[in-house]
Structures are given as structure tokens and as C-alpha cells.
A and B are shown apart, each in its own frame.
Chain A
Amino acid sequence: MSTQHRTAGDTATAESPAGGAPAPRRTDEGRERARLVRRQRRSRWDLKLSPYLYVSPFFVLFALVGLYPLLYTGYLSLFDWNRAYYVRGEFVGLDNYQFVLTDPVFQKSLVNTFSIFLMSSVPQVILAVTIAALLDNHVRGRAFWRMSVLLPFVVAPTAVALIFGSLFADQYGVVNGFLKELGLEPIRWHVDRWWSHFAISGMVNWRWTGYNALIFLAAMQAVPRDLYEAAAIDGAGRVRQFLSVTLPMIRPTMIFVIITSTIGGLQIFTEPRLFDDTPNREGGPDHQYMTSTLYIYVKGIEDQFYGRASAAAWVLFLVIVAIAVLNYLVTRYATLRSSR
């Protein structure tokens, strides 16, 4: 870059000074000084402006595809929409919110969302911490185990949903085959509301447990080893060490994992959408496993009720934020207590 400056300076000296009239020839010294001043000024602007320039692409793009749509969702939710002509209708205040909140289908979708979220997050965190604790031993073949637990993560949710759809098929599914073999009643996985949540949570757990186990493992390995030695000298057994040393030490990671899985878990879409093997794909013939995100998609994109879908999106958005904050508080409280 400095060479470019020099060439720029040289060409500037070669040109006649601006203004046209033959100005008095400047001395070499003067030229040199002018060049330095110019360069310094440019450098100062470079120093001042560059940071803003470097962060601006993120903010500009985010404003366009993140912030603006989010705020526009709020705007849309206050209007009636003429579906036939895609034009904005009249201002209806909170009517759309009232519709959505009293819509049995949306209510059902909220319950489904929570049920699937709980069934997928609670066992997942417990299992992931367990796997991490196992991996935190001096196991042979470290790289092999770590990679193996991550295998499901590279299978796309669409593929996961279709694979589990086949395993849990109502009629010829292999899971039902085994149940029958054991003399049990086959389960109607695609019809029975809570069992369908079980199958869908299974997909989420299958894909994400290993991923979260690695995050917990990283946190566990950052725990200073002499803490364990001190605990052992105090007569703490392995389980006690885990409860009194490991768990409190990985608290920040725990909060991080729980909050991110809350934000993701409350927006599950792919799995319930593709688990449905009827052509409607609205989360089961009676919306048994329609999640709220699926509701927003069906209402907003398929049925083109922009206002209602947007109202639903804002409701879900607020719910997610509320749950994330609640989660944070509860996790903090629980892990603080266990550390005493």
C-alpha cells in the first residue's frame, strides 16, 4: 500500500498545480511536506473510519434481513390483509392477536411446542452431560469417540425426519413390529398426540445430544484438576465429585446450552412438518403435533393470512424471550444451590 502512496504522490508532483495560472515553483522541501500532510490526513481518516467500515456490512445486511423483517412483522400484525390482491387492508389494532390467541389450533400448537420442547431438551441435557462425563475420562481412542458422537449432527433434519418417520410408521414400522413381538399393543405414532411428540423429540435428541455432549466435554476439561484432588482428599467419591465440583464448574456452559436449545427447541419446524405423511402436512390430521412455527408457516405462507401469521410470530417471539430469561434464572439458581 505504501508504494501506491508514493506513486500517487509522484504523479501529483508531475501535474501542474490546479488553477491553470503558472504558480511559483515549489521547492522540493515544500512538496515533501505537502505529501506528508496529505498522507497523514489520509491515515488519520483511515484510522478513524476503517473500524466502522469493517463492521458496517454486518449491520447493513442484518438490518435488511433480520431487524427490518422482525419489526415489519409487528407492523403487518396490526392490519387486515386482502388475500386476493396482496394489498394492505385497514388497520385493525390487536384483532389479529385476539384471533390467534383464541384460535384453538394456535393454542394447541403452543402446547405441542412446549411438550416437544420439554421432551427433547430435558433428557437431552441429562444425556449429554452423562456422555461428556464418560468422555472426560482417559478413554483410549479419544478422537474416535468424539467424532462418533457427532455423527448424527451431519444428517440434515429433513433426512432425520424421514428416517424416523419410517422407523415409527404406524402400520409397518419396525418399532411397532418389535412392540408386537413383545406382545404389546402397537402405538399409533402419527395419530396419538403424546406419542407423536415422543417420536419427534426422539429426532431432535438423536441429532443434538452428541453435539451438546462435546460442548459440555470442553467445559469439563477446563475444570482445574487439582479441584478433584482436593475433593478426593476430603473423601468425596466419584459421584460426589461430579455433583460438587463438575456441575458447579460447568454452570456457565450449562446456561449457554440450555438457552440456545430453548431458542432452537421452541422453533421446531422440519421434524413435525415431515413426520406428517398426509398430503396436508399441518402436523397431523388433527394438528396433534403442529408446532407454532408450523402454524405461522401454514397461516402465513400457505393460507396467506399475513396479519394472523405475523401476530402468531410475535406471540411466539415473546414466549421464547420469556422462557429464555426464565431458564437463565432457574438454571442459575439451581446450579448455585447445588454448589453450596
Chain B
Amino acid sequence: MNRRPGFLVYGLLAAFVIGSALPLYWSFVIGSQTKERADDFPPPIVPGGHFLENARQVLDTVDFWQALLNSLLVSTACAVSVVFFSTLAGYSFAKLRFRGSDALMGFVVMTMAVPTQLAIVPLFILMRDYNLLDTLTAVALPSLVTAFGVFFMRQFLTDAVPDELIEAARMDGCTMLRTFWTVAVPAARPAMAILFLFTFMQVWTDYMWPLVALQKTETLQIALDRLALTGQGQTTDYALVLAGTGMATIPLLLLFVLAGRQLVAGIMQGAVKG
């Protein structure tokens, strides 16, 4: 709607944004208090000076750095794989004519609606039979391709690459692969970046599958899971737990600061075309 907004609009938006920020702020406030102060009421409202002590305790409890590295490895591997295979398949569906392409694309769209994570039991058995339990390979395997990725790249490449350009490349004697590489990939770059970001975040924040596939090895989410278990039986040590939560959230906050605009653009773009 095309009118200049008044205070009411800004007021409501501000209220929503404050609500969005508060729980995160809370975790940093409590994560930097002593165990005793964390349970006080009225609660502390500014961060205290105990974050480093809490952080040290987190590092003593779980192997935080290894978990961080593991998360980084798995998320990067999956994001690279999803982007590569999705661009390849998306290009094929968007620009190449081949028999059965409509049916195959229909299948891709259908699988987007299939809740495959319900099939954890056979996946678990599969990993166990191939001795992959407790490895990062097992964590990464189910996320190496996504139907969404193929769909997203197809939508983008349909408009982004003119058919004439592909024909011209073919005329010049380019093979199919070279045409893909020199014509489609440069045009697809913005969408590839967005798909990379989203896949990375999705794998990074996944909790259920690593919980199934891992035993001793930890990703960040599993490390948080173990951390939350430590104080149990008594009251939870929220200063410790929320310090760990904060530490685990910082990498994604950095990503948000660096690439927030792309995230916003990606969501809005996917929406219009989806």
C-alpha cells in the first residue's frame, strides 16, 4: 500500500523487532553471569563480567572447537555439493530439451513435499551396515542434494540465461559441458550464492539427524545437546548453558552481519518465484 506510514507503523515494527532480539539478548545477559545470579529475580538486564569463566567451563565440558570444525566441514561440504548438483540439474531442466524432462521435474517438485526425515530408522540402519555411524560422512550424506535446490536453480536459470546465448555457444563448437560452464554458471552465480547460504545454514542448524548418526563425534548442535545434559538431576546451570548457546550462535550471527542482505533477498526471491 502506497502511503507514508505514521508512528503507529514504526511503533509496531519496533515492538516486533525488540521481541525478536530479546531472547537472543537474554542469552548473552545470562551467559555472562554467575550460576547464582542467573536465577535471580528481578533478573539482570545487562551482561555481567563472567562470560570468559563460563566459556572456559563450556570448553572443559564439551569439545567445542572440534564441534565447530565438524559443523564447518559438514555444512561446507553439503553446501558445495547441493549448489553444484542443483545448478547442473536446474540448468538441464530450465534450458535443455530432453524426453521425460517434464515428468522428472514433476517428480522433483513432488519430493519437496515428502518429509524424508521421517525415514530415520532405515537411514540409521544403512549407516550402521556400512560402518558409517559416528562419522561426518554419515551426517553429510542425506544432505548432499535437495529437491528444493534443483527447483530453485531451475526457476532462476529459466529467466537468467537467454536461449540465444546457449545456441550461440553451441554454434561456436562448445560441447554441452563447456556451454554449461561458460554460459550458465556465470549467470547463475547470484542464485548459487543464495543457495549456498541457505544450505549451509540448514545443515549447520540440523539437530535430529546428527543426533541419530553420531555417538562420540559432535557437531555444534550435538555439543549444545550434551552441554544441556550436564547440570541435570539438579537445577540446570543456565549461565553455563546459555554461554554455550551464545558461543554456538556467534558464527551464524557473523554470517548474518556479512550476508544478511543476501539472505533477505534470497527469501524474497524464492517466494516470488516459488
Task: Say which residue of B12, B116, B177, B255 sits within 8 Å of A66 (CB atoms).
Answer: B116
Q: A218-B269, A246-B1 are in contact. Are A274 and B225 (CB under 8 A)?
A: yes
What band does the interface of chain A fall in when counting residues whose beta carbon is under 8 Å from B? 35 or more
Interface centre among A43, A59, A86, A218 (most CB of B within 10 A): A218
Shortest C-beta distance, B144 to chain A (Å), equals: 5
Stretch at the interface among B47-55, B92-100, B185-193: B92-100
The reply to whether A301 and B121 form a contact with Cβ atoms under 8 Å apart is: yes
The reply to whether B228 and A162 form a contact with Cβ atoms under 8 Å apart is: yes
| Bound form: Cα–Cα A234–B135 in Å | 65
The reply to whether B21 and A151 form a contact with Cβ atoms under 8 Å apart is: yes
Q: A159-B245, A274-B228, A309-B121 are in contact. Are A166 and B30 (CB under 8 A)?
A: yes
| Bound form: Cα–Cα A253–B1 in Å | 18
Q: A1-B174, A52-B98, A158-B224 are in contact. Are A163 and B207 (CB under 8 A)?
A: no
Determine if B242 is an interface residue (Cβ-Cβ < 8 Å).
yes
Q: A241-B1, A274-B228 are in contact. Are A177 and B43 (CB under 8 A)?
A: yes
On chain B, the residues within 8 Å of A2 by CB distance are 172-174
**Residues from 121 to 169 in A contacting B, C-beta threshold 8 Å:** 130-131, 133-139, 143, 145-160, 162-167, 169
On chain A, the residues within 8 Å of B264 by CB distance are 143, 146-147, 150, 214
| Bound form: Cα–Cα A155–B245 in Å | 9
On chain A, the residues within 8 Å of B86 by CB distance are 58
**Residues from 286 to 303 in A contacting B, C-beta threshold 8 Å:** 293, 296-297, 300-301
| Bound form: Cα–Cα A206–B118 in Å | 24
| Bound form: Cα–Cα A65–B143 in Å | 8
Interface centre among A51, A52, A137 (most CB of B within 10 A): A51
CB-nearest residue of chain B relative to A299?
Answer: B121
Stretch at the interface among A102-110, A262-270, A331-339: A262-270
| Bound form: Cα–Cα A162–B30 in Å | 12
| Bound form: Cα–Cα A174–B40 in Å | 8
The reply to whether A293 and B208 form a contact with Cβ atoms under 8 Å apart is: yes
On chain B, the residues within 8 Å of A321 by CB distance are 113
CB-nearest residue of chain B relative to A148?
Answer: B17
The reply to whether B145 and A61 form a contact with Cβ atoms under 8 Å apart is: yes
Stretch at the interface among A7-15, A26-34, A312-320: A312-320
Total contacts A-B at CB 8 Å = 304
Determine if A198 is an interface residue (Cβ-Cβ < 8 Å).
no
What band does the interface of chain B fall in when counting residues whose beta carbon is under 8 Å from A? 35 or more
Determine if B134 is an interface residue (Cβ-Cβ < 8 Å).
no
CB-nearest residue of chain A relative to B107?
Answer: A59
Interface string of A266-292 (1 = CB under 8 A from B): 110110011001110000000000000
CB-nearest residue of chain B relative to A77?
Answer: B121
Shortest C-beta distance, A56 to chain B (Å), equals: 8
The reply to whether B271 and A253 form a contact with Cβ atoms under 8 Å apart is: yes
On chain B, the residues within 8 Å of A51 by CB distance are 92, 96-98, 101
Determine if A68 is an interface residue (Cβ-Cβ < 8 Å).
yes
On chain B, the residues within 8 Å of A1 by CB distance are 173-175, 177-178
User: Could you name 15 residue pairs across A and B whose Cβ atoms are closer than 8 Å?
Assistant: A51-B92, A51-B96, A51-B98, A58-B85, A76-B122, A134-B9, A137-B3, A152-B24, A166-B26, A211-B267, A214-B268, A263-B115, A301-B120, A306-B121, A313-B121
A-B residue pairs, 8 tightest by C-beta: A69-B119, A177-B41, A50-B176, A218-B268, A172-B39, A215-B271, A51-B98, A156-B205
B residues sitting closer than 8 Å to A (CB atoms) are 1-5, 9-10, 12-13, 16-17, 19-21, 23-24, 26-27, 30, 38-43, 85-86, 88-89, 91-93, 96-98, 101, 104, 108, 111, 113-126, 128, 141-142, 144-145, 147, 150, 172-178, 180, 201, 204-205, 207-208, 211-212, 220-221, 224-225, 228-229, 232-233, 235-236, 238, 241-242, 245, 248-249, 252-253, 255-256, 260-261, 263-264, 267-272, 274
A residues sitting closer than 8 Å to B (CB atoms) are 1-2, 5, 43, 46-48, 50-52, 54-55, 57-59, 61-62, 65-70, 72-73, 76, 86, 130-131, 133-139, 143, 145-160, 162-167, 169, 171-172, 174, 177, 180-181, 206, 210-211, 214-219, 222, 225, 228, 238, 241-242, 246, 253, 256, 259, 263, 266-267, 269-270, 273-274, 277-279, 293, 296-297, 300-301, 306, 309-310, 313, 316-317, 320-321, 324
19 further A-B contacts with Cβ under 8 Å, apart from A54-B91, A206-B20, are A5-B173, A55-B89, A55-B93, A66-B119, A70-B114, A72-B119, A134-B12, A151-B256, A159-B224, A163-B26, A166-B38, A211-B267, A215-B270, A222-B272, A228-B2, A256-B274, A297-B212, A313-B118, A320-B115
